[in-house]
Amino acid sequence: MKRLPAAVFCSSLLYSLLILSSSAQAQTLIAFARLPADTFAPGPTSGQLIAPANGRVPPFLDKQPVQGFSAVLRAPNGDFWAMPDNGFGAKDNSPDFVLRVYRISPDFRTKTGGSGAIAVKSMLELRDPNRRINFPIVADAAVYPGTAIPVDPDIRERRLLTGGDFDLESLREAHDGTLWFGDEFGPFLIHTDRTGVVLDPPYPLPGVMSPQNPFLGSATPNLPRSKGFEGMAITPNGKLLYPLLEGPLTTDPDRQRLIINQFDLTTRQYTGRQWFYRLEASTATGQSIGDMTVVTDRTFLVIERDNFEGNAAVFKKIYLVDLDEVDADGFLVKTEVADLLQLKDPANVGGFGSTFRFPFTTIESVLPLSNTTLAVLNDNNYPFSSGRTPGQPDPNEFIIIRLDRPLAR
């Protein structure tokens, strides 16, 4: 992945969107693209441990679904890198899902044209040929865990990482071109080269273990299942990571308190500094974190959403937080940036009329394109989620919204 300067875009379309953003009056959808749900890439047979859903019957022979986007980065020439998570939502049903990052090229539909299609151009696969991972992985076994199904030869021979090893939810690129991934199973930070080869043993979060942590043994986990590193920001100078836990520790009596930790990329250690993010109070909708990404070295965007989809979805928002602004209770002050269920769409670029809703259960990627434009992508949980059309698996949608005020002033 070649790093681009923050203010440089090679796509003329994206450049034009930045120009349009200077006259923003409201949170408005200005570009839309869709990757069909049934998009696959060649690879090992997948989905052997899941049940049929939304009319789709696994397994998917000799192919991998291109789905579950949980992180997005810029790529050269107006393209993007989109990272799926662990596959089918759990450690025990995803050992045949290969962990990848796809290069995608959206032809955004805007008020002036565009097809709205997304092309999948290439991919990189995470793998551990040098045996840096310090615990057994799926590639070390003859059969998938808990089954008699042989592990695919390509997974074994190339030591490909799978959704049975890690649940990747965040991805950042360091200034040296290497990649850092945030995982939920440990929770771990995983460091690879720019092609996906693991460079170091996974970095655990001191004092925190989920039920899926391979080192748990007889210890008691203090982080709920699937509540590890959901979002992770990297500072513009490339020196610090800020991974954010999706859920509170089980030992914390405040069930709305999430912890942001600071990790030094120079020393490759946690600094011990922490900040607290407070979820919106709602016992009815059960808020979770979708992503956290950088705006400046002290300000970040956070996606917060409920666990519902379609017409039942009521809370899908993006907030801005500043590490230097803490309230009297010790929580970061949150400023609402966008309500993803109430976006204006006067040009009907989304195809649903003058108001656009992004009604997906999991919305897990946000990327600032300028001071007033954001890219947002959903995780479609293929084939399980059906927030757009009941009974049909969701597509991966890629939207660009224009804000009514600048992020940084």
Domain ranges of the chain: 12-402
Biggest CA–CA distance in the chain, Å, is 60
Q: Which residues contact 113 (CB under 8 A, 6 or more apart)?
A: none
Per-residue pLDDT at 286: 75
Cα–Cα distance, 198 to 127 (Å, whole number):
6
Strands (E), 109-219: 117-125, 168-173, 179-183, 188-192, 203-204
Residue 68: HSE in the Cβ half-sphere, 13 Å Cα cutoff:
25
- Per-residue pLDDT for the chain (409 aa), expressed as one digit of tens each? 433 333 333 344 544 444 444 333 469 999 999 999 999 999 999 999 999 999 999 999 999 999 989 999 999 999 999 999 999 999 999 999 999 999 999 999 999 999 999 999 999 999 999 999 999 999 999 999 999 999 999 999 999 999 999 999 999 999 999 999 999 999 999 999 999 999 999 999 999 999 999 999 999 999 999 999 999 999 999 999 999 999 999 999 999 999 999 999 999 999 999 999 999 976 556 789 999 999 999 999 999 999 999 999 999 999 999 999 999 999 999 999 999 999 999 999 999 999 999 999 999 999 999 999 999 999 999 999 999 999 999 999 999 999 999 997 6
Q: Using CA of residue 151, residue 157, residue 162, residue 166, what is the dihedral sign?
A: positive
What is this structure's pTM?
0.93
Class of domain 12-402: mainly beta
Per-residue pLDDT at 316: 96
